[in-house]
A = this chain, B = another copy of it.
Amino acid sequence: MIMQTLNQTHAHSTNDQPIGIVEIVGQLRDLRTKSLIQRQRINTPPKLPSKAELATIIEGFAAALFPNRLGLPDIEAEGIDAYVAFTLDKSLRELKRQLRREITFNLQTVDTNSDDITQTVQQITRQFAAVLPTIRSLLDSDIEAAFEGDPAAQTPDEVIVCYPGITAMIHHRLAHVLYKNGATLTARIVSEIAHGLTGIDIHPGASIGRGFFIDHGTGVVIGETAIIGNNVRIYQAVTLGAKRFAKNSDGSLVKGNLRHPIVEDNVVIYAGATILGRITIGKDATIGGNVWVTQDVPANALVTQ
């Protein structure tokens, strides 16, 4: 009825034929309904975690981890712990809200305030918070690796502020903890935030050791079940991907099976190399640029085109 009126009102102005918003709104509603029925979800779909809010939350954790470099620009010694405590408290509270959405969505429940959800949310948050010092320590090793591995790096501070690889790893190390504690969707959104910022696409399921250095980074892809040892160095456009996807008897993809490479300690992989499937790149091996690898590589090997 609103729209009928709109169209009538519109008819008064001659050189400005109506756009017909009412019909378009109706058609879009039909498509939404159809889409919900198809997924067997008649009712209002539950909310998902918000990408925009998670971006702010991750900035908060980054600021708490590196208050002098990624926090307030004019923080002083006397206020620094209060700043870290406040920022942690605020970011954890906001994280809880996002986690509650994911848990509720997973349960497809209407009762968004059940004690079970509250307990699960609180538990994931507590485990996440407890591991933050470990994450800081791992990131310190990543920064050290970048400083030592790039002749252009002049100070570790430059590395924290400038290197997209560090931005990607801050996001990944936080997302990975969420992923391991069951908040896989929240984790994935955090990873995509980093992907958008840096062009580095690390699935939150990937397991990565100490002292990981990604140089330049644009186009790097690291898959869900990849395992990376300590002190590994990779360059732009490196892919650690799946070779082929296993299928179920009904033709649909098997989800979650181990399909990405294992990269052992001290491996270096140069730009554009593509390593596919559940293979192992042995300790101290070097993979040259643009090389295509689909089979195990022994320790200390040098693979080039």
Interface residues, chain A, with chain B CB atoms under 8 Å away: 1-7, 9-10, 12-13, 15-22, 24-29, 31-32, 35, 39, 43-45, 47-51, 64-65, 67-69, 72-74, 76-90, 92-93, 105, 113, 115, 118-119, 122, 125-126, 129-130, 132-133, 136-137, 140, 148-158, 161-164, 184-185, 188-189, 191-192, 195-199, 201, 203, 205, 216, 218-219, 221, 223-224, 236-237, 239, 241-242, 245-246, 252-257, 259, 271-272, 274, 276, 289-290, 292, 305
Contacts and interface: CB of A to CB of B under 8 A. Distances in A.
B239 A239 contact: no
A12 B33 CA distance: 14
13 contacts: A9-B80, A19-B92, A19-B129, A24-B133, A29-B80, A45-B157, A48-B69, A48-B157, A74-B93, A105-B157, A148-B253, A152-B205, A199-B218
A2 B22 contact: yes
B152 A203 contact: yes
A74 B246 CA distance: 39
A253 B146 CA distance: 12
A15 B115 contact: yes
B152 A9 contact: no
Given A74-B93, A85-B21, A292 B292 contact: no
